[in-house]
Chain A
């Protein structure tokens, strides 16, 4: 293969880069094949019923994934609902409002949060967050909003809500760091133009946010990806109960936690196969959610033509 410039070095380099790229793709394909082949036994046994069944009972050999899928998606949604407004606020403050001597240290601290290992978040969740929610947050919520099925049932501080909140705390630094970079990349001329037209600061910030929309969406996808796959911190506070309950106070379970929790002591083949199939499902869920998010980003990009690209 000759490069357009006819340079052999270039050709070799391009070939190598092609191989490296191919290697990445083949790892993904190999992973899917391995997951699918190892979960064959469970797929044959349960078929589509695996996705619909509510029962997970290793002793009786009954395996169903629905409670795990529900827990994974709902905990990630709670995380996004809490985290996105916070992250946008942090980024807007750092880029548009804070003086340099404030923005630097705060930006640094936010990035530091992203580097904390998830097990540390988990321990903090058990010893600080869960008791705090149990004593100060959940009882008033139940009193005020107890007529909603979302906030009923016994209050223990451990459950879907706590899992979602800890995820929110974990993904906020990631989203806000990326959004900050996106906003910083919006050309100053946009701001000057808005202000010159008589826009208030708030209106100017809105212009900047709309310009950065695709990049912001990319940041959210990045955060969502982490939330969907997060294992350790969530498993320590979510209650680990494979059950679908409308209440956010009730214990729940995520796919990643289930795999991590049950893999070590799973001895029989069907059980192992069912756990691998959970892994395959997590792979597919992540794939589908990312796909949907990307389509959304693409739509927004087409309309606004702003700066920044989806991650």
Chain B
């Protein structure tokens, strides 16, 4: 064996050993360091992510000593991580279930931040007027009971539209999503058959249709396939100028989805919103209410372990439900109605660290 070879083998060994050491040294440590800026970690819903990122950057300009990191991994991840206390706040579109709240290590509060809506979009060649849908028609299309576009029940709501005699291709979200949860929550309220057969949740077992991944996947399939119907978030539909349908609300009027008709749904539901603010506002009563609307929430422990971080977090959320609301409309989120802001304030005021109020 030549000297060169031996040197090479020693060098390679050394390189490997140092690589292994590096791996060990780089393994993540607890992020509990308190010196320097205050670090807040959040994780959860993807739907409010554009707004939360805007909040983080705007709030960072006002408070240079606070660094907030929001990861949009999905509502499921948000609930899981806040329960495991690996993040300072979680985020979820649907409110947490009772059993999830019970199994959490402490009392969790729901702070509503903004609202969104699910809109019905479609691709019908030759139909220029905006389509109108009654709730039972939407349910029966998604149940597979209404199969043709020229079904008499669709025609009844859309007199004058040249509806083709072709099959309806139903498109839904393929991945678990808050959008699907809101949509199926709505369908469960207006259709007993849907409630019994399918139910509400982020990944229901769809009776018919094809699944598209994400808002963009559903949009892609609706745009590219004639005679399709699908549902997407309001913001996504507006940005992409998709045709959106008017939906008949519980007052019997057809309402176009818009930021205002969504806020109206929240305001109309304020009366029956429970004390913990966990509420479904689909199919809310009221003339101008768009019926497929929902809150999105930030989840936070009532008893904060660290007073400094807890105070920073409460201050951030306080800013979010007040000044932060002004960033919602440009990003096509509906803002909180005034009395819900009042009730969210009370929630934030109740947060303590070691028995001391933080706000």
Task: Name the distance in Å between A11's Cβ and chain B's nearest Cβ.
Answer: 10
Closest 4 CB pairs of A and B: A265-B176, A264-B74, A240-B211, A240-B174
Knowing A59-B205, A265-B175, A266-B176, say if A126 contacts B217 (CB, 8 Å).
yes
Asked if A203 is at the interface (CB within 8 A of a chain B CB), the reply is no
Q: Which residue of B lies closest to A261 (CB)?
A: B175
Question: Would you call B199 and A236 a contact (CB within 8 A)?
Answer: no
Question: Would you call B198 and A59 a contact (CB within 8 A)?
Answer: yes
How many chain B residues touch A (CB < 8 A): the figure is: 45
Q: Which residue of A lies closest to B181 (CB)?
A: A265
Question: Would you call A7 and B1 a contact (CB within 8 A)?
Answer: yes
Contact of A58 among B169, B204, B224 (CB under 8 A): B204
Interface residues of B (CB under 8 A from A): 1, 6, 9-10, 12-13, 16-17, 46, 73-77, 79-80, 97, 100, 167, 169, 174-178, 181, 198-206, 209-213, 217, 220-221, 224-225
Contact of A158 among B12, B97, B181, B221 (CB under 8 A): B221
Inter-chain contacts of B210 with A (CB < 8 A): 156, 158-159, 239-241, 251
Interface footprint category on A: 35 or more
Bound complex: CA A10 to CA B7 (Å)? 11
Inter-chain contacts of A240 with B (CB < 8 A): 174-175, 210-213
Knowing A154-B169, A239-B210, A261-B175, say if A60 contacts B13 (CB, 8 Å).
no
Question: Would you call B1 and A262 a contact (CB within 8 A)?
Answer: no
Question: Would you call A157 and B205 a contact (CB within 8 A)?
Answer: no
Q: Which residue of B lies closest to A14 (CB)?
A: B9
Q: Which residue of A lies closest to B177 (CB)?
A: A265
Question: Would you call B177 and A158 a contact (CB within 8 A)?
Answer: no
Partner-contacting stretch, out of A72-80, A83-91, A127-135: A127-135
Knowing A130-B224, A265-B203, say if A5 contacts B1 (CB, 8 Å).
yes
* Cβ contacts A10-29/B at 8 Å (1 or 0 each): 10110010001000000000
Contact of A264 among B6, B176, B204 (CB under 8 A): B176
Q: Which of A98-150 contact B (CB under 8 A)?
A: 123, 126-127, 130-131, 134
Given contacts A57-B204, A235-B213, A264-B77, 6 further A-B contacts (CB under 8 A): A58-B201, A126-B212, A126-B224, A130-B224, A241-B211, A268-B100
Interface residues of A (CB under 8 A from B): 5, 7, 9-10, 12-13, 16, 20, 55-60, 62, 123, 126-127, 130-131, 134, 154, 156-159, 235-236, 239-242, 251, 253, 257, 260-268
Question: Would you call B199 and A16 a contact (CB within 8 A)?
Answer: no
Task: Name the distance in Å between A186's Cβ and chain B's nearest Cβ.
Answer: 33
Bound complex: CA A257 to CA B176 (Å)? 12
Task: Name the distance in Å between B191's Cβ and chain A's nearest Cβ.
Answer: 15
Knowing A9-B6, A59-B200, A241-B211, say if A154 contacts B167 (CB, 8 Å).
yes
Task: Name the distance in Å between B270's Cβ and chain A's nearest Cβ.
Answer: 27
Inter-chain contacts of A257 with B (CB < 8 A): 174
Task: Name the distance in Å between B193's Cβ and chain A's nearest Cβ.
Answer: 15
Inter-chain contacts of B73 with A (CB < 8 A): 264
Knowing A16-B16, A264-B77, say if A9 contacts B205 (CB, 8 Å).
no
Inter-chain contacts of A5 with B (CB < 8 A): 1
Question: Would you call B12 and A13 a contact (CB within 8 A)?
Answer: yes
A-B contact pairs, 15 of them (CB 8 A): A12-B9, A123-B220, A126-B224, A131-B225, A134-B225, A156-B210, A240-B175, A261-B203, A261-B211, A263-B74, A264-B75, A265-B202, A266-B203, A267-B79, A268-B100
Inter-chain contacts of B224 with A (CB < 8 A): 126-127, 130-131, 157
Inter-chain contacts of A260 with B (CB < 8 A): 175
Question: Would you call A264 and B13 a contact (CB within 8 A)?
Answer: no
Bound complex: CA A16 to CA B169 (Å)? 59
Bound complex: CA A12 to CA B221 (Å)? 59
